[in-house]
Structure formats: structure tokens, C-alpha cells
Amino acid sequence: MGVSGCGKTTIGKQLSAVLKIPFFDGDDFHSEANVTKMASGTPLTDEDRLPWLASINTFAKQQASSVIIACSALKKKYRSCLSQDVHSRFIWLDGSFELIHKRMKSRDPHFMPPALLQSQFDTLEISAECVPINIDQSTEKITTEIVKAINKKDIGIIGMGVMGKNLARNMARKGLAVSLYNRRVEGKEENIAADIAQQYPEFESAAAFEDLPAFVESLAIPRKILIMVPAGAAVNQVIDQLKTTCQKGDVIIDGGNSFFRDTETRYTALQKLGIEFVGVGVSGGEAGALDGPAIMPACSEEAYAQVGPILEHIAAKNSLGQICCQHIGTGGSGHFVKMIHNGIEYAEMQIIAETYDILKATGKNNLDIAAVFDSWLAEQGYGSYLLEITTKILRTKDEEGYILDRILDQASNKGTGARTSIEGIQLGIPFNIISSALHARFMSSVKAQRQKVNAQFNTTINKFSIDLHNLKEAYHSARLLNHIQGFEYLKAAARQYKWELDLSTIAQIWTGGCIIRSDMMFEMRELLQQTDNIILDDSITLQLIQTKEQLVQVCTKAIQAELPIPTLTACLNYLHGITQARSSANLIQAQRDFFGAHTYKLTEDPTGPSHHTNWETL
């Protein structure tokens, strides 16, 4: 790329000979009208150029392997057009007006007259993706520098754990040139990146490192580096090391489950160094990382222009072909949204677990339960990744029988659900459904105590029957309430942290690739385009009214059978709570005022003065 006269065709042909990659001159794609216009000394407009650029992009997309194309590509939006769905590298032949003007006057006849050179310089916009090559040197030296530059990798991935490795494999499979890095810990982690590069054919042209400066040096400028190491101190350590080698304009991406406040701090600190920081929520586990995760990136517009195309390129697409990666916002909002994803996930998992428990208590075995869930999955609106994997789990046997029946009933967690609960407390919003699922895991962790108390109380679950239709409706209602609460939580956070969160976009990201992908999430995406108060939407109100009785009946039967159903009842309590116009909180206020003189408002004057009553003297 570069202004007319900078030597694109000459260098392009030289490069083609050296790299044995076909060369094409972008000028050959101009329409007759454009050529005539330029020959008449009239500069082209955007309207003239965009169809020309689109024709070059179409040509590039049709190529089965790399090509070299000479094209002025003067503006950032021109380069965006050229690189649409094409993995591209922009080599900018950089020279002074004087040098180029002199060359233009001595070159073979060309439809671009020297008089237009100034308009080219006036139009030229250089941005981070332009790799500068000084043209005030021999074509051989220019070509050598370019070869060196294009052998740089598009993106580097630090941390060859399951997620880092699979994201790197995903990128390599999509045609990106990657550098892999894993630290060296004598006796524990040695040659990890090199071994992985050897292991997978998609890494044929990948570079592998244990030396971080060499890894950084291997990357095309502006460097894009994805950190996939455990959240917390490890991320800080890596960033501190990168600070010494990265430069202004480089982009560091954290794709782990980092705490959003940590991301905010890192974002601010790196911005001061001119280094872009992208906090990315990645969902979909091992398989998602490899085949297409849901990606929730937060960063500046400039940083997204650099890494957004790569993240969108490797992200999942939902069943409508929509990409499950969109620019969420800035700072820690990407990691925050991922945290809420995990909060909703915990509750979704617990709702299924309690439903499984109820079905077991009615005497059904794993195969029966799997059959019930399969019948639900066959219904529009009930499809969900978590329910699908549950039916597979229920049916999985080995020589000793059902694996599920041998798994210790103590659920652990890596902390994302806990953080969602802590933040919910900070925000002071209803999030009882998510927290009930977290507490269910905590309850499961006191297994020894549960066994003792069970013996002490001689507790048995009384077998009971349940109407399967009611159970299905109760299950659906609980899930709906979980989603409603989850999006209400996001709204409260957006207000608190002044994030411009587009809830429909977030729902779209969650319709593919992630753990909570489901038919219901598509419904959320549609709804959130019309309203951000889901429960007041008539169709949702109707669904909740029509299934409330079933939720009550299922909870009642399970409670009578002494079956713990913390999340199903949390959903029902949320529904009862959010639909109760007048609650018993007036008594709480009175008690607080009685013993602490904390005062209270009056119902008929909620924004008026606070009142105190001397309860003892009246």
C-alpha cells in the first residue's frame, strides 16, 4: 500500500519473485470511469473507490492461497474493505513527498499524474495495521525488510493450557499465523509450546517459544498477544513481563476468567503506556475454544479494530449464522458479562440438577430421566446445551455401570459464581436465584456433615409422583426467571458502572458457542431488541402466569417429600417477590426504627422526608 508513485508495482513484482506468490496490480481492477477520471486530473472520491476496493476484496477471497496485491489503500476504511473476511497484512511503502514526486516524474507513463500526488498524501491515513517500510533504499533491501515483516506472526498466545492451546489451534485452522508461548519451569513445564506445535498439523507454520522477548519479537506490529493463564497473580506477572518488551500501539488480550475489577485496573495502567488492553470473556469450554467459543471483548474502539476481526473470525456462529462475538464495551465490562454468564450457568445447572433429583425421587432411573429430558429437548423453546449434555451424562456407562451414579456428590467451583454473588451484594439487587445455586454447591461440599445429620434425623426422601407436564412447565418457568434476573443484573451493573451494554447483543453472543446457549436465549435476544424489562413483556408475563401454578405444585410436592430444591424455590420466591406490590418490608423498617432510630418513609410520600417514631413512649 501507499500513495501513487511509492513503488507498489515494482516492489510487488520483486516480492512475488522472491516469495513465489502471485502478484496482482490493484489498478487493473479500476473501472473505466475511474481511470478516465484520474487521467483527467480529478481525484477519486470514496464513492469511486469503494466499488473498486470491493472488487479487489472479492478477488482476494476467491484465492486458494496467498497473493500479493498492490493497492494504495489510503484510508483505514479502505483497508477494512480490502481485508473483509480475508486474512491480510498491509505493507506501507513509506517515502517523502519529494522522493516520490521525483520518482513519479521519471516513471513510465501512468494514468495518475504527479499533480495528484498531494491529494494522495492528503488522503493517506496511517493506522496500527500498516507496517512501515522505508522506500529510500534499494528494492532488494526493501524486499528483504518486507519478507522479514510478513514472516512475523499475526497473533501470539501465552499459556498452552487446554483453553490457550485450543484457541491457538482454532486461530491456526482459520489461517492465522500464530506464535505459541509457554513459560519454562524446570522439571515441570519444559518445551510445552514446542511439543504442542509439533503435535498438531495446523501448527505447521507456527512458532513456539519459551523465551518471552523472542516470542514478542516474532509478532507483527502492532503486536496482538492473547494471555490464557489462570486469573489473578499469573496474569499480572505476564503483563509485567510484557510491559518491558511491548510498545505503544500493541494490544494485550486477557482471555481468562479474570475478575472485572482487576481488568479495569490493568486496562487503566496499560492505557498510560499506550498499550491497548482487551478483557475478553470466553465461553464454551475446551470444545468451544477449538471449534468456536462465545467471545465477550471489552476495549477501546481502536483496540477492537485491531483484534475484533480475529476474535470474530474464530468465534462461534449461531444457527442463524450470526457471529457470537461483539464489542461489549470498555474496561472490565467484557469480563463482567462473562461473570454474569457464569452466574446464569450455575443456576441453569442447578435447575437441571434439582429436576433430575425430583425425577429420581419419583422412582425413575437414569435412562427414564434421559428419555424425559429428550422429550423436552424435542420441543421448540426447550433446546439447550446444558440439557443436551445432561442426557448424554445420564446414559454414559462403563463396565461398572452408570458413571454418574459413582460420582461424589460434592460440587466444586473456580469462583466465578462466588464473584457474581459478591458483586450482586455490592450492587444491592435481587440475585437470589444465582446465589441459591452457589449455596447449593456449598451445601454439597459439607458431605460428611450431611451424612451424619442424615443418620441422626434418619431422613429419607418420600417417594412421590409428579405430573411430567407440570414438571416441564415448572422447569421452563424457573429457567425463564433465571434469565430475567440475569439480564436485570446486567442492567443494574451498566447503570452503576456507566457501561453502554446492549443486552440484545449480549444475548446474541450467548446464542452460540457458550455454555448457556439455548432456544430461550434466542427468545431473549429478540425480546431485548424491543425492551430491557423482559418480565413486563406480554408474552413473558403470559408464560409466567400460565406456568406459575405448575412451579408452585412441583415445589410443594418436592418440599413435602423433604427434597432440597434451593434454586427452584428461589425462582418461585423471585416470582412471588417481584410480583408483590406491597411486601412486609414496612415491618422491617419499623423494627429498624424501633431499635436503631433508622427512620422510615411513608407509602404515600416515598420521596418525602424520613420519619422516626418513639415507639416506646406511644
Q: Considering beta carbons, is residue 284 or 292 the nearer one to ligand 6PG?
A: 284
Cβ 417 to ligand 6PG, closest distance in Å? 5
Q: Quote the strand ranges of 314-399, DSSP E.
A: 397-398
Cβ 256 to ligand 6PG, closest distance in Å? 9
How far is 568 from 468, CA to CA, in rounded Å? 16
* Sign for the pseudo-dihedral over CA of 576, 579, 582, 585: positive
Q: Residue 175, by phi and psi: left (phi above 0), alpha (psi -120 to 50) or beta?
A: left
Cβ 285 to ligand 6PG, closest distance in Å? 4
SS3 of 332-351: CHHHHHHHHHHHHHHHHHHH
Nearest to 359 by CA among 545, 610, 561: 561
> Do residues 385 and 324 make contact, with C-beta atoms less than 8 angstroms apart?
no
Cβ 521 to ligand 6PG, closest distance in Å? 13
| Active-site hit among 165, 338, 472, 557 | 338
How far is 537 from 559, CA to CA, in rounded Å? 31
Q: Considering beta carbons, is residue 358 or 514 the nearer one to ligand 6PG?
A: 514
> Do residues 612 and 596 make contact, with C-beta atoms less than 8 angstroms apart?
no
Residues with Cβ within 8 Å of residue 252, at least 6 apart in sequence: 225, 227, 239, 242, 246, 270, 275, 276, 277, 278
Cβ 170 to ligand 6PG, closest distance in Å? 14
Residue whose grid cell is 501448527 = 203
Cβ 341 to ligand 6PG, closest distance in Å? 6
Cβ 501 to ligand 6PG, closest distance in Å? 18
Q: Considering beta carbons, is residue 139 or 413 the nearer one to ligand 6PG?
A: 413
Q: Considering beta carbons, is residue 82 or 515 the nearer one to ligand 6PG?
A: 515
Q: Considering beta carbons, is residue 38 or 228 the nearer one to ligand 6PG?
A: 228
Q: Considering beta carbons, is residue 153 or 338 the nearer one to ligand 6PG?
A: 338
Would residue 348 show up in a list of annotated catalytic residues for this protein? no
Residue whose grid cell is 444475548 = 507
Nearest to 284 by CA among 316, 309, 325: 316
Q: Considering beta carbons, is residue 72 or 416 the nearer one to ligand 6PG?
A: 416
Cβ 50 to ligand 6PG, closest distance in Å? 39
Q: Considering beta carbons, is residue 57 or 257 the nearer one to ligand 6PG?
A: 257
Residues forming beta bridges with residue 93, ordered by sequence position: 133
Residues of the shown chain interacting with ligand 6PG in the complex, contacts defined by CB under 6 A? 257, 283-285, 341-342, 345, 413-414, 416-417, 514-515
How far is 4 from 506, CA to CA, in rounded Å? 43
DSSP summary character for residue 329: B
Q: Considering beta carbons, is residue 283 or 567 the nearer one to ligand 6PG?
A: 283
The residue at minimum Cβ distance from ligand 6PG is: 283
SS3 of 32-76: HHHHHHHHCCCCCCHHHHHHHHHHHHHHHHCCCCCCEEECCCCCH
Cβ 390 to ligand 6PG, closest distance in Å? 15
Nearest to 145 by CA among 93, 103, 217, 207: 93
Nearest to 485 by CA among 497, 477, 495: 477
Cβ 342 to ligand 6PG, closest distance in Å? 5
Alpha-helical (H) ranges within 466-515 are: 468-497, 503-509
Q: Considering beta carbons, is residue 284 or 566 the nearer one to ligand 6PG?
A: 284
Alpha-carbon distances of 288 from 165, 293, 413, 516, 524, rounded to whole Å: 12, 4, 19, 12, 22
| Active-site hit among 276, 345, 354, 488 | 345
**Spacing of C-alpha 320 from chain mean position:** 18
> Do residues 396 and 403 make contact, with C-beta atoms less than 8 angstroms apart?
yes
How far is 345 from 343, CA to CA, in rounded Å? 5
Nearest to 279 by CA among 227, 210, 318, 320: 227
Would residue 463 show up in a list of annotated catalytic residues for this protein? no
> Do residues 297 and 266 make contact, with C-beta atoms less than 8 angstroms apart?
no
Q: Which residues are catalytic?
A: 338, 345
